């Protein structure tokens, strides 16, 4: 029996096990199981691999997408360039890191954000998921501004976002876990009064399906999308890597 799974700190929010269980049933894949592995710290990964020798593939979620990289034997070129890993292939005792968040986000954004409407983007958050989003925006030639709690070069803090700036950027992407179950009453600090019907608001969070961020944006007439299409696309890309290493 081949084992696949997800590592992270807290996995109560994850849909991955359900997604893969349904995939295995639907596609009559009888030799595979998918499990959740909560690790108190990412340094527990080598011990997990020893304890579970049947593991051939792992997904990685917050907060380990960047922290896991030094623990791997090899990095795919794109993952190294992005600076974050969300998929690990395990073969003959060696681990190789990939980034399928990039694939999932790019493909889902191309469908959600029409080319004729494309302007500039605000990317909320600067963690591992944000790095994949930046790479996808670069690939699509969509200019963007990074927003974080802290000011840095090429990066604004939330307190610096003015209503005029929010009006200027018609794509807003939340890459933070704000609003994720069970903290569903949280949302990024934005001047939501400046959101209009010409805005496209994308939240990488998919549980709940309509975060407070998306609710506030939808109330202003914005187009909204949660992270579920991205999850499905990145999961299929991960499955291809584990089985075919495209």
pLDDT in tens, 106-136: 999 999 999 999 999 999 999 999 999 999 9
- Angstrom distance (rounded) from CA 192 to CA 92: 51
The pLDDT value recorded for residue 245 is 63
- Angstrom distance (rounded) from CA 108 to CA 176: 18
Determine the topology of domain 2-99 in CATH: Rossmann fold (3.40.50)
Beta-carbon contacts of 78 under 8 Å, excluding residues fewer than 6 positions away, are 98, 99, 102, 135
CB 4 within 8 A of CB 55: yes
Give catalytic status of residue 9 as yes or no.
no
Same fold across 2-99 and 102-228: yes
DSSP string, 71-89: GSSEE-HHHHHHT---EEE
CA separation, residue 41 to residues 9, 64, 119 (Å): 7, 8, 40
Q: Which sequence spans correspond to the domains of the chain?
A: 2-99, 102-228
> Helix, strand or coil for residue 222?
coil
Please pick, among 65, 96, 106, 131, the residue that the annotation labels catalytic: 65
* Dihedral sign (CA 101, 33, 41, 97): negative
Q: In what order do the strands lie in the sheet with 121-124?
A: 155-157, 144-148, 121-124, 171-174, 200-203, 223-225
pLDDT in tens, 210-244: 999 999 999 999 999 999 999 999 999 999 999 98
Instruction: Give 229's DSSP letter.
Output: H
Phi, psi for residue 180 in degrees, rounded to 5: -70, 145
The pLDDT value recorded for residue 87 is 98
pLDDT (tens place) for every residue of the chain, 246 residues total: 999 999 999 998 788 999 999 999 999 999 999 999 999 999 999 999 999 999 999 999 989 999 999 999 999 999 999 999 999 999 999 999 999 999 999 999 999 999 999 999 999 999 999 999 999 999 999 999 999 998 888 899 999 999 999 999 999 999 999 999 899 999 999 999 999 999 999 999 999 999 999 999 999 999 999 999 999 999 999 999 999 864
The tokens describing 69, both together, are: 């990289």
The pLDDT value recorded for residue 12 is 83
Q: Which residues pair with 192 in a beta bridge?
A: none
CATH dotted code for 102-228:
3.40.50.720
The pLDDT value recorded for residue 62 is 87
């Amino acid at each position: 029996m081949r084992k696949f799974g997800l590592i992270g700190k807290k996995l109560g929010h994850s849909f991955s096990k359900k997604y893969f269980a349904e995939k295995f049933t639907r596609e009559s894949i009888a030799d595979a199981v998918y499990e959740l592995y909560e690790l108190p710290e990412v340094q527990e990964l080598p011990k997990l691999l020893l304890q579970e020798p049947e593991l051939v593939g792992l997904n990685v979620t917050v907060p380990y997408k960047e922290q896991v990289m030094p623990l791997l034997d090899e990095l795919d070129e794109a993952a190294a360039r992005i600076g974050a890993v969300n998929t690990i292939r395990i073969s003959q005792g060696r681990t190789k890191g990939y980034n399928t968040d990039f694939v999932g986000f790019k493909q889902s954004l191309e469908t959600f954000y029409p080319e004729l409407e494309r302007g500039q983007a605000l990317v909320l958050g600067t963690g591992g998921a944000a790095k994949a989003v930046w790479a996808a925006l670069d690939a699509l030639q969509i200019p963007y501004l990074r927003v974080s709690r802290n000011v840095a070069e090429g990066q604004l803090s939330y307190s610096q976002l003015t209503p005029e700036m929010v009006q200027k950027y018609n794509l807003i992407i939340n890459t933070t876990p704000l609003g994720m179950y069970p903290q569903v009453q949280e949302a990024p600090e934005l001047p939501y009064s400046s959101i209009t019907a010409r805005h496209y608001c994308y939240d990488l969070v998919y549980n709940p399906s309509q975060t407070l961020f998306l609710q506030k944006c939808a109330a202003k007439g914005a187009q909204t999308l949660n992270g579920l299409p991205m999850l499905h696309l990145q999961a299929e890309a991960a499955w291809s890597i584990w089985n075919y290493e495209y």
